[in-house]
Structure 1
């Protein structure tokens, strides 16, 4: 979900493991040459999801930590590609935590008319379906979360 800590934890994890960090939202921004919210607002959610799938399915990310946008979960081929490359980790936070962390006016990929709660309830089972590891991140620091991931992966 938005603000679950994907980029923060991913960056810390990559540094701790000596791996490259890839933020797919940044790759989408570079490919589209405009902010993600503008893609969704002006080109539509389907166009955004299509660009996201194209970016993720073209990744060759050996020895990398990848932070994706939360909407990646809608792309079955993208999720299969990510799972084939490595371990998928779900940074789980409560709905209340999502709400408390969102800044005013924050946009995220969703269908017109869907509330944040609708999106949370729709996505959570998908995150659980694809996750190899689930980490509770509601009230923890990024460093602690990354250390927990390293332990669960038996990497140190």
Structure 2
């Protein structure tokens, strides 16, 4: 099983992806961490030195590798959907979940985070709105499921995702179901 998260920077892809992987007993990987390991430096540093186009080339290589070989949960970078080949590979090779957050929700979460290169501008909220306008249709194109993040807790969002996957028949018989034993710390606590 391969579950892939897409969404704006700061929409919760890594946090929710990691929790979902834990619940399902699957390995988790963040494509940005793989990129940084491959580059040998922070994305922000590479971005500043080499530019966005070169970064997107590396990102495309990593996403191609991960979407072919990683069995588990993948959190992608916010711009992973910008190239058509990435959208095609992600959509064909896994169950893609778009964590849809409004620019205002994302801004509230990341306004003090200085590690996001695309948000190091004078007006980060305007930048998020611009990114949303461009990327929302691309996220929707690649996604099998759209989850509105709003203000629910991480646990609630993970339960919503598990229910969607279960309803769509993507959870295997040995994967914990949404109505699994609530006494277990690795299973959802919501009812069926």
Check whether TM > 0.5.
Answer: yes
Partner Cα separation in structure 2 for residue 27 and residue 34 of structure 1: 11
> 1:121 and 1:141 mapped to 2: Cα distance?
25
1:31 to 2:43 alignment: no
Choose which of 62, 65, 79 in structure 1 pairs with 2:87: 79
1:4-56, Cα deviation, whole Å (9 max, x unpaired): 10000000000101111011000000000110111111110001111000111
Secondary structure of the equivalent of 2:111? coil
Mapping for residues 5-154 of structure 1, pairs under 5 Å: 5-59=12-66, 60-104=68-112, 105-109=114-118, 115-154=127-166
Larger radius of gyration: 2
| Alignment RMSD | 1.9
TM-score by length of structure 1 reads 0.91
Name whichever structure is richer in helix by fraction. Answer: 1
CA distances 1:60-97 after superposition (whole Å, capped 9, x unpaired): 34531100001001121122111222111000111110
Aligned length: 155
Unmatched tracts of structure 2, length 5 or more: 1-7, 172-176, 178-192
Residue segments in structure 1 that go unaligned for 5+ positions in a row: none
Could you state the TM-score of these two structures normalised by the residue count of structure 2?
Answer: 0.75
**Larger RCO (CA under 8 A, 6+ residues apart):** 1
Which stretch of the first structure deviates more once superposed, 93-102 or 3-12? 93-102
Contact between 1:2 and 1:108, CA under 8 Å: does it hold in 2?
no
Between 59-68 and 142-151, report the one with greater CA deviation.
59-68
Q: CA offset at residue 134 of structure 1?
A: 0.3
